[in-house]
Amino acid sequence: MSVTLKDVAKLAQVSPIVVSRVLHNKAEGVRVSDATAERVRQAAAELNYKVNIWARNFRAQQTMMLGVLNGMGFDRPRFNDGPRYFATLMDGIVDGAFRHSYSVALCPQLLGDDPSEAVTDGRFDGLVWYSITPTDANRATLAACRCPVVIVHALSGQYGGKHPTVICDNFQGIGLGVDHLYELGHRKIAFMIEGDAMNVESEARLAAFKSHMARHDLPPAETDIIDVRKDREALKSYLSNKPPHTALMVHADGLAADIIRFAPKYGIRVPEDLSVIGFDSTEFCDELKPALTSISQPLFEMGNRATDLLMKAISEPNIDPVELVLPCGLDVRGSTGPARQTELS
């Protein structure tokens, strides 16, 4: 049986209001002497009194819980598998929640028979929604949401401009990669995508690649955009037919890692024959052989800043939504090198 304020008050021989003032800093109009306060604390310790968090939050109309939900377009998130994109993003979200004394609930799928339940039933004070597919279904779910939402990986306009958003500067990041390869002497550069997994960010990266190549007077031809599928048969076919390119820019690290793994089977050396650049640049890139040069998406900072924006939206419900675009970096590792001599001659 749980110990109540009344139990503490009875043992300390004071009123429950006095106990509330001492233990919860409530009833500010009540003055309590040091001796009485000490007697209350001793009574609470003797009875092993604990604050009922759920009751306190119910009275305050807060759950002190943030939800992290994925919109359609992401597979089930995995923390320690593959490129570890999600682990890095979550680390930033949890770090931000910790600073604000909030807990985090991870919901890989929206809960309940009706997907809208998880965003309308009051279980969260706010939501971090990470989505690369602003579909009508996703927009409808967020439109029904009754708590503040911050969206990661989207521009504000993609969700009607109603929610704060955090995204990396895909255009600037791809520019870093193109410039790096150009400075190494590469002119035959291709961009590789997974056509069966295209989303707003991979499309943005492809558009940026075309723009930055044109800036170097190297507008890509159709054959410089290589579409492979998740089964990787198209990738194996490309590698087995002596690739005409000296460098590949890849829309994500997972696909770039497969290039590094498969290339030796077809007598292709990375980076001597083919330089490879990925996108995200988590610790996963250092585990590959050679280590993967990658555009560093600031995933930890994105998660951290998303939490800060969410706290702002919770405390100031009518604040105008912010669109936060964070710059990328470039982590040069072993998978890029000078263009092969036949290209330079």
What is the per-residue pLDDT across 7-35, written as a single tens digit (0 to 9) for each?
A: 878 888 888 888 777 777 665 667 888 88
What is the per-residue pLDDT across 44-89, written as a single tens digit (0 to 9) for each?
A: 888 887 765 545 544 445 667 788 877 654 455 666 767 888 889 9
Asked if residues 152 and 302 have their Cβ atoms less than 8 Å apart, the reply is: yes
- The single-letter code of the amino acid at 99 is R
Task: Please give the Cα distance from 165 to 28 (Å, whole number).
Answer: 39
- The single-letter code of the amino acid at 221 is A
Residue 272 sits at φ, ψ, to 5 deg, of: -60, -40
Question: Could you identify the residue written with the tokens 């994105």?
Answer: 302
**What stretches of the chain show up as alpha helix (H) in DSSP?**
5-12, 16-24, 34-46, 53-60, 85-99, 136-143, 170-183, 200-215, 233-240, 253-262, 299-315, 341-344
Task: Please give the Cα distance from 294 to 296 (Å, whole number).
Answer: 6
Query: Which of 32, 114, 109, 98 lies closest to 64 in space, CA to CA?
Result: 98
Lowest average pLDDT, out of 37-41, 169-173, 204-208, 299-303, goes to: 37-41
Model confidence at 107, in pLDDT bands (50, 70, 90)? low
Q: How many CA atoms lie less than 13 Å away from 330 in the CB half-sphere?
A: 19
**CB under 8 Å to 161, separation ≥6 — which residues?**
321
Task: Please give the Cα distance from 269 to 120 (Å, whole number).
Answer: 53
Asked if residues 211 and 170 have their Cβ atoms less than 8 Å apart, the reply is: no
The two three-digit tokens of residue 185, written as one number:
């002497």
Residue 291 sits at φ, ψ, to 5 deg, of: -60, 145
Q: Is the pLDDT of residue 140 over 60?
A: yes
Domains, the chain, in order of start with CATH, read 5-51 (1.10.260), 65-168+299-326 (3.40.50.2300), 170-297+331-344 (3.40.50.2300)
Average pLDDT taken over every residue of the chain:
85
Asked if residues 326 and 301 have their Cβ atoms less than 8 Å apart, the reply is: yes
Comparing 196 with 250, the larger pLDDT belongs to 250
| pLDDT > 90 in the chain, percent | 48
Task: Please give the Cα distance from 123 to 97 (Å, whole number).
Answer: 16
Average pLDDT on 97-126 reads: 67
CA 146 to chain centre: 22
Report the DSSP pairing between strands 247-250 and 293-296.
Answer: unpaired
| pLDDT > 70 in the chain, percent | 85
Lowest average pLDDT, out of 54-63, 243-252, 262-271, 312-321, goes to: 54-63
Report the DSSP pairing between strands 275-280 and 293-296.
Answer: parallel
Looking at residue 141, what is its pLDDT?
A: 76
Q: Is the pLDDT of residue 114 over 60?
A: no
Comparing 211 with 342, the larger pLDDT belongs to 211
What is the per-residue pLDDT across 192-233, written as a single tens digit (0 to 9) for each?
A: 999 877 788 999 999 999 999 999 999 999 999 999 988 899
What is the per-residue pLDDT across 230-248, written as a single tens digit (0 to 9) for each?
A: 889 999 999 999 999 999 9
Give the C-alpha distances (Å, rounded to integers) separating 63 from 17, 98, 112, 139: 24, 15, 19, 25
Q: Is the pLDDT of residue 108 over 60?
A: no
Backbone φ/ψ region at 319: left (φ over 0), alpha (ψ -120 to 50), beta:
beta
Average pLDDT on 145-152 reads: 86
Lowest average pLDDT, out of 33-37, 47-51, 117-121, 138-142, goes to: 117-121
Question: 76 burial class (0-12, 13-18, 19+ CB within 10 angstroms)?
Answer: exposed
Average pLDDT on 286-304 reads: 97
Estimate the crossing angle of helix 200-215 against helix 170-183, to 10 degrees: 40
Model confidence at 188, in pLDDT bands (50, 70, 90)? very high
Model confidence at 116, in pLDDT bands (50, 70, 90)? low
Asked if residues 331 and 296 have their Cβ atoms less than 8 Å apart, the reply is: yes
